[in-house]
Structure 1
């Protein structure tokens, strides 16, 4: 890379784009010789398509979408690589106040296994009464949001493909559709669940990190061919984003970060909502709050390192829900999306691979795909 490189990067208005937005806004990208042009998009499909055809050089992207694009699932095959994670965790399962009241009547308490069983009772009752099935929103079929909803529901005995409706909506549309009664609940990234709570129309039932402890959420994705053509540019992006994440994670900077992200051209919501997300201290209904320091991981605790095991876990979720078939070649392709080698070559940090764990069910780490999927009652097999 010689001179200043102009880089067009697409993003969705979510708090988990913070490292990217701050790296650009605070001059960390410019210091690395990058002239970053940020383009705010509405839907993940738009981001994926513009990245695929070269309208974007890089993108804030759903980690499962990067794997799906590489495997040619749901769209034309465009191999992508992710040299750095932008976020782990950060989602929440939110339900309407009406559905929450019904779940409360079933004596459901905070643990996901109990709320899932309570939801299963409601689903069965609605079917017996001839009522319409419940409708939940998620942001894309190849997303952690989809897998979190499905995993949670299935642990209660619900088959999400048979017992209710799952529909795709852009993140910023979730609250509006919940208010209109077109959704009974959704799983979405921050800050949109907080807006539903503040509007008095939703209750946060579970943080995403209560379903999966360290879910690979967003990555910086580039076309494999583009990344291969200019490794120095990739290295500059990794360095700039690491500095952006460090700035976001430093507590004295939270007010400034929240104000920057609140701008209309970025996330476009009140800074207080963003600050709550960054601290992991959220209102879950009109009177109660819940705190979890792991609600959203941007840079700390090794969150930025893209581990191939994370891509294997994503592929396992795709297999479980019938989004693809097992093939050794596809499994190998999936692993090559999250490029720890590119990250390590730039930052050279010591690392420890973290276990990907869930609130219930079999552990993925150390198991074959076949053995892992055999541990579930609901879902597909290899």
Structure 2
């Protein structure tokens, strides 16, 4: 018997695993019929999931945590048993603003620490507080932007204006002069560069080498009531992720995503993120970033509880949530490695034996113990060299210099 599942998504390149699971037959092989429901904004997607209009969603990882912590309009217990990707976002700014930055875009993107300080100087030269588009207050992009700016002494709540708008509207907002730049998942940064509206300033992969991005989010109650369905869905996604990571499938994947049902943008723009060949400024040769977006390799899909807690630490840092033991427990419980392990136990997918790790401590590929004995974790370094120990959240937060 075939089980139908409605899954909400936004038109972004990192919806690739869901699209491939449907279009390449991986879901069908598991007896699942995926109905992918295209949505414009993260707020609408959140509501569709919370109110039961869909069974699952392609969701910003911090949004899943925030909804569970009661920071959203309609609190609900959400669970993320699978990460759909890591990395994949880019900060772009108007060309006039970028003139105050390092002109060599390869050097600019390779040195996020120096570029952050250049950016701080550029703010003082700009005609107004720079207006930077973010796709949601509780997005990985927004938290990374805050982290990056604060390193250079920029207060993201005072020195710039962060304006929320859906990813697919970012390019038109730049064209209309409503924003001076934005940070979003691909292909929207590339689309702004291709239109001559912006230049790339920083990429997520260089801010946090394995930065958590989108997750498969479900209502906790649905996961509890439908374990057999979840145990079919995750293997389908894992096979789709392996297919998406295969360089030989990039062109086919870009063409799938370009369809009007999904992203509805040119395939060549979409393929840039998939291949890690980023055009930072119109007319320039591509800048290579081999790990610009990962779907499954090197345990990219594993829902580390420590990453949920890093998200929590940033929410605390910016005064979005009170730091309390109950909140720590709730945030940690959003990511569900137990369900991941159960669903993929017989799939051959390599997975770590631990559920938490010190984030930012891996500087080069690291072999680790797993059931299959063949798992290598990729570098997960933060651009400023900090590490996040999930057992020492207080010490981590105390290490940041207050901006005011």
* TM-score tier after normalising by the smaller chain length: over 0.9
Displacement after TM superposition at 1:125 (Å) = 4.5
Query: Offset at 1:371?
Result: 0.9
Shift of 1:378: 3.6
Looking at structure 2, the residues matched to 125 and 42 of structure 1 have their Cα atoms a distance apart, in angstroms, of 34
The answer as to 2:395 corresponding to 1:371 is yes
* Counterpart position of 2:77: 79
| Alpha-carbon distance between aligned partners in 1 of 2:344 and 2:55, rounded to the nearest angstrom | 22
Which of the residues 186, 192, 197 maps onto 1:190? 186
SS at match of 2:35: strand
Deviations, residues 155-187 of structure 1 (Å, cap 9, x unaligned): 111101011100101001111111222211111
Q: How does 1:21-40 map to 2 (within 5 A)?
A: 21-40=19-38
Show structure 2 runs of 5+ residues with no match.
361-380
Secondary structure in 1 matching 2:352: coil
Worse overlay, 46-55 or 179-188:
179-188
Q: Which residue of structure 2 aligns with residue 5 of structure 1?
A: 3
Which residue of the partner structure matches residue 334 of structure 1?
331
Provide the C-alpha distance between the structure 1 equivalents of 2:55 and 2:397, rounded to a whole number of angstroms: 36
CA shift, 1:346, in A, is: 1.7
Residue 232 of structure 1: aligned partner = 228
Alignment of 1:178-217 (within 5 A): 178-217=174-213
Number of matched residues?
374
Q: Call closer, same or farther: CA 1:367–1:329 in 2, change over 3 Å.
A: closer
Which position in structure 2 is the counterpart of 1:315? 312
Checking the alignment, whether the CA contact within 8 Å between 1:58 and 1:220 is kept in structure 2 is yes
TM-score, with structure 1 as normaliser: 0.94
Indicate the larger mover: 208-217 or 99-108.
99-108
Structure 2 distance, partners of 1:271, 1:160, is 34
Shift in alpha-carbon separation, 1:276–1:125, aligned structure 2, 3 A: closer
Q: 1:378 to 1:167 in 2, by over 3 A?
A: farther
Is the CA contact (8 Å cut-off) linking 2:312 and 2:331 kept in structure 1?
A: yes
Change over 3 Å in CA distance of 1:175–1:345 after alignment to 2: same
CA contact (8 A) 1:320 1:379 kept: no
2:298 to 295, 298, 301: 301
* Backbone CA RMSD of aligned residues: 1.9
3-state DSSP of counterpart to 1:216: coil
CA–CA distance in structure 1, aligned partners of residues 267 and 273 of structure 2: 10
Match of 2:17 among 13, 16, 19: 19
Whole-angstrom CA distance in 1 between matches of 2:225 and 2:250: 36
Contact 1:361/1:375, CA 8 A, preserved across alignment: no
Higher relative contact order (Cα pairs below 8 Å, separated by 6+ residues)? 1
Distance 1:345 1:303 in 2: 17
Deviates more, 1:357-366 or 1:82-91: 357-366
Q: TM-score, normalising length from structure 2?
A: 0.89
SS of 2:153 mapped into structure 1: coil
Distance change >3 Å, CA 14–CA 105, structure 1 → 2: closer
Query: What is the CA distance between 1:103 and its match in structure 2?
Result: 2.6
Q: Which runs of 5+ in 1 are unaligned?
A: none
**In 2 relative to 1, CA 354–31 (structure 1 residues): closer, same or farther, beyond 3 Å?**
farther
Aligned equivalents of 2:267 and 2:402: distance in 1? 41
Q: Distance in 1 between matches of 2:103 and 2:303?
A: 42
- 1:355 aligns with 359
Q: CA–CA distance in 1 between the matches of 2:385 and 2:236?
A: 38
- 1:141 aligns to 2:165 (yes or no): no
Which whole-Å CA distance do the structure 2 matches of 1:187 and 1:312 have between them? 22
Cα distance in 2 between the residues matched to 1:115 and 1:350: 35
Q: Which residue of 2 aligns with 1:120?
A: 120
**C-alpha distance in 2, partners of 1:12/1:375?**
36
Q: Distance in 2 between the 1:109 and 1:28 partners?
A: 40
- 1:88-132 CA-to-partner distances (Å, cap 9, x unmatched) read 010011111111013348999441222221222233345xxxx52
What secondary structure sits across from 1:222 in the alignment?
strand
| Greater shift in the superposed pair: 5-14 or 174-183 | 174-183
- CA shift, 1:87, in A, is 0.7
